[in-house]
Amino acid sequence: MKKFGSITLVISLLHFLEDATLVALERFTELNFLSLLIGTVVFGLIIAWLARQEKVKNWLSTD
């Protein structure tokens, strides 16, 4: 569970910074800040879950 949380945190933080930068640069978006935050966390959770799957681990570790 510790690795899952770490992966989620890193991915979510990077994705959030990307979205926050786009909003700060006043790029046109109809999404509000809360939607971006929730979407970022969900995206991070999905990526972390995928990274913990055995098939994905084996695929990433092959040379």
Predicted local confidence at residue 57, as pLDDT:
76
pTM for the predicted model, two decimal places: 0.56
Could you tell me the residue range of the domain that residue 30 belongs to? 2-61
Predicted local confidence at residue 1, as pLDDT:
58
| 3 state DSSP class of 32 | coil
Q: Would you list the DSSP string of 34-47?
A: HHHHHHHHHHHHHH
Predicted local confidence at residue 29, as pLDDT:
64
Predicted local confidence at residue 6, as pLDDT:
74
Structurally, how many domains does the chain consist of?
Answer: 1
- Could you tell me if 12 and 43 are in contact, meaning their C-beta atoms sit under 8 angstroms apart? yes
Per-residue pLDDT for the chain (63 aa), expressed as one digit of tens each? Answer: 567 777 778 788 888 887 777 777 776 667 777 877 787 788 888 888 888 888 877 776 765
- In angstroms, rounded to a whole number, what is the distance separating the alpha carbons of residues 45 and 62? 24
